[in-house]
């Protein structure tokens, strides 16, 4: 990676060959991807918050030349209503990708409707030279309505999504918030996902009693990566809030117990890195 003024600019300027994708972890579920000539932000949570364990690594106004901002669902640490308008202003050609039932939440923030793409499973869109596939996520707005796909809240539409991003000869799955369900791994295997970005904070009664809708835990994340046929798994959603932590070493241990060849990459926040797809996966 070339040196640059900011980690995002460093990522954007990275010299990637076919079969490579550049990634930058912003903390929590926030990632920047560079693939197929496009720069994508996924679930960027960039606003100050009293419960954050560390400050935002990126100022929204500095997020220039971003092509896509993708948000997986409406929780504020995934769709950040305070920073999203500034992100869109900094990158006026960017498109915002969200589940179809929450498009209006985005346009109410002052973002022009023609910039917003409402997604649903079994459909794909091509934006800025990459293809985006919507994958159902099993989650909830509150523990009382979890764990579902949110269809009962959304006139039959899927309210919570993950995304598979294809471009530059690689395929990256960002799970958003989800637990495992029966056909999740087959969907990912069909799309020949190389790299899985998955939450590992888990779920339990104590968190749910505090209003926290849970996620994959380390064992579930390990099993999903194996069943999906992924090459690499990257943990996320474990670091931001003291009341909702997870532990990457448990993901490593789970894959070791399962005698898996899946590689775990635990990135440092704010340091871009590159994934290279092995030739044998081509």
Residue 153 burial (10 A CB sphere; 0-12, 13-18, 19+): middle
Taking residue 155's Cβ as centre, other Cβ atoms within 10 Å add up to 9
The predicted pLDDT at position 3 comes to 47
Question: pLDDT tens digits, residue range 236-273?
Answer: 999 999 999 999 999 999 999 999 999 999 999 999 99
**Per-domain residue ranges of the chain:** 7-262
List the one residue out of 90, 48, 82, 44 whose CA is nearest residue 65: 90
> 277 in the Ramachandran plot: left (φ > 0), alpha (ψ -120 to 50) or beta?
beta
Answer whether 71's CB lies under 8 Å from 97's CB: yes
Question: pLDDT tens digits, residue range 149-173?
Answer: 999 999 999 999 999 999 999 999 9
Question: pLDDT tens digits, residue range 51-102?
Answer: 999 999 999 999 999 999 999 999 999 999 999 999 999 999 999 999 999 9
What mean pLDDT, rounded, does the chain reach? 96
Question: pLDDT tens digits, residue range 95-150?
Answer: 999 999 999 999 999 999 999 999 999 989 999 999 999 999 999 999 999 999 99
CATH architecture of 7-262: 4-Layer Sandwich (3.60)
Question: pLDDT tens digits, residue range 211-238?
Answer: 999 999 999 999 999 999 999 999 999 9
């Amino acid at each position: 990676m070339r040196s640059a003024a900011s980690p995002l600019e460093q990522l954007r300027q990275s010299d990637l060959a076919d079969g490579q994708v550049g990634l930058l972890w912003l903390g929590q579920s926030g990632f920047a991807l560079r693939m197929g000539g496009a720069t994508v932000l996924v679930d960027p949570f960039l606003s100050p918050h009293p419960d954050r364990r560390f400050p935002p690594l990126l100022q929204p106004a500095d997020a220039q030349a971003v092509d896509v901002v993708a948000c997986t669902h409406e929780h504020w640490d995934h769709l950040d209503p305070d920073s999203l308008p500034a992100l869109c202003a900094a990158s006026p050609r960017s498109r915002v990708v969200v589940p179809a039932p929450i498009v209006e939440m985005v346009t109410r923030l002052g973002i022009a409707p023609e910039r917003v793409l409402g997604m649903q499973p079994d459909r794909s869109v091509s934006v800025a030279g990459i293809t985006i596939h919507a994958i159902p996520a099993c989650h909830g707005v509150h523990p009382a309505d979890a764990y579902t796909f949110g269809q009962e809240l959304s006139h039959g539409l899927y309210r919570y999504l993950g995304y598979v991003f294809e471009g530059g000869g690689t395929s990256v799955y960002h799970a958003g918030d989800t637990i495992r369900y029966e056909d999740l791994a087959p969907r990912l295997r069909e799309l020949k996902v190389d790299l899985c970005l998955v939450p590992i904070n888990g779920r339990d009664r104590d968190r749910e009693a505090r209003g926290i809708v849970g996620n994959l835990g380390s064992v579930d994340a390990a099993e999903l990566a194996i069943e999906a046929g992924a090459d690499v798994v990257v943990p996320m959603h474990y670091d931001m809030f003291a009341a909702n932590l997870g532990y990457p070493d448990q993901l490593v241990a789970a894959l070791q117990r399962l005698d898996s060849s899946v590689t775990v990459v635990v990135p440092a926040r704010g340091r871009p890195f590159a994934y290279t797809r092995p030739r044998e996966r081509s």
